[in-house]
Structure 1
Amino acid sequence: MGITHEVELPTEEQLTVQEINLSGPALKAGAFHLGKACEWENNEFILCRDELKDARCCLDEGKAVTSCALNFFRKIKKTCADEFMQYVHCLDKSSPDQQFTPCRNTQAVFDKCVKDNLGLDRPPYDYFARVHVHETERPRPEKEGPVLYPDATPGLPKDAPRPAAKYGSRYLWMW
């Protein structure tokens, strides 16, 4: 997207939110439960961004996603901190590319803690690939129709003479 003087960029105050200061293994350890817990906020942001074709118009929805993630990890810290950290350390230390396979036991302990304390089941692996209908209260944006341009040349009049084709038929299928 090219930037011109007419493009309004958000101010620093509009973009400033509290960041989620977690490492990659910690985000990976909580990713399944986080995706399920913040599913509505994520879908709302993606719907807004895709419908309006401009993420600048969806700053409030983006802030809601970040706020939901912060609240989720605060709840995890309050209720399942030890199980979460064991799972994070296992993901971080057990394989060079943070495979889930060596950490199934610590994952099961963490999943049980989240289910008991937060009431969240770990979604199945194909859950986020399934089709889900998202109900929103945002009004649907008006669709813009295709741009219609007038014909560049009006064409020949109906009574204009048509000379015979120089090299045979004017149509390829008529020989």
Structure 2
Amino acid sequence: MVVTKEVDLPLYETLTVQEVNLSTSALMTAAPYLGKQCEGVNSEFMLCRQETNDARACVELGKGVTCCAMQVFMNIKKSCHEEFNQYLNCIDKSSGDFGYRHCRKTQAVFDNCMDEKMHVKRPDFGYFCRGRVHKSKRLPPVPPPCPCYPKFQDATPSLPDCKERKPARFTSRLFWVTE
């Protein structure tokens, strides 16, 4: 991507935030709870990205998403650390594709812990597939102005050669079409 001097890039200090340094299996273990608890913040961030089509305008909302994820993992560590690790190890080591099918018993133990200690239920199957309307507190961006064209300018000027033409010497190319 070419960056010119007219492009205003954010400073590096504004972009730094503590990252969620976890493995794929750890993220898959907590994915339903993470998705449900950070749904509003993530929807706001994705709406900003879609509306503005500029990642620089949504840096603060992205930080909020990361902060929400960190908060969820800290709460899991505080309340259900042992159950989380059992489920994580099962997902990590039971199959090569991080499949859930071999780990339903450890998943049930982890889900019960989340329900009892954190009062968070696992979202039902298909929860994330349902359509939802997100109500944002931000104002929508100003749409770009419509292009103005002269009113009476002919978009297709007439052809300079408007004489009658002689019929074709041989038959038409559409000889199979009967009239």
Tell me whether the two structures share a fold, i.e. TM-score over 0.5: yes
Say which SS state the counterpart of residue 103 (structure 2) adopts. Answer: helix
Query: Mapping of 1:147-158 within 5 angstroms?
Result: 147-149=147-149, 155-156=157-158
Query: Mapping of 1:40-51 within 5 angstroms?
Result: 40-51=40-51
Cα distance in 2, alignment partners of residues 40 and 2 from structure 1: 34
**Paired residue for 1:109?**
109
Cα distance in 2, alignment partners of residues 28 and 146 from structure 1: 45
Bigger shift: 94-103 or 2-11? 2-11
User: What one-letter code is carried by the residue in structure 1 that aligns with 2:4?
Assistant: T
Bigger shift: 65-74 or 144-153? 144-153
1:30-74: per-residue Cα shift (whole Å, max 9, x none)? Answer: 011100010001000000000111111000100000000000000
- How far did residue 145 of structure 1 move? 4.7
Cα distance in 2, alignment partners of residues 77 and 167 from structure 1: 86
Cα distance in 2, alignment partners of residues 71 and 167 from structure 1: 81
**Paired residue for 2:78?**
78
Runs of at least 5 residues in structure 2 that lack an aligned partner in the other structure: 169-178
Cα distance in 2, alignment partners of residues 93 and 69 from structure 1: 24
Output the aligned Cα RMSD: 2.5
Bigger shift: 138-147 or 91-100? 138-147
Return the index of the structure with the highest Cα Rg.
2
Query: Mapping of 1:70-149 within 5 angstroms?
Result: 70-149=70-149
- How far did residue 162 of structure 1 move? 3.7
1:127-147: per-residue Cα shift (whole Å, max 9, x none)? Answer: 111101111110011222543
1:115-159: per-residue Cα shift (whole Å, max 9, x none)? Answer: 112222111232111101111110011222543455697835xxx
Cα distance in 2, alignment partners of residues 130 and 56 from structure 1: 29
Task: State TM-score, norm by structure 2.
Answer: 0.83
| 1:166–1:137 CA distance, 2 compared to 1 (3 A) | farther
Aligned residues: 168
Cα distance in 2, alignment partners of residues 128 and 80 from structure 1: 24
Cα distance in 2, alignment partners of residues 148 and 167 from structure 1: 43
Counting aligned pairs with the same residue, the percent is: 46
Say which SS state the counterpart of residue 93 (structure 2) adopts. Answer: helix
Runs ≥4 in structure 1, deviation > 4 angstroms? 148-154
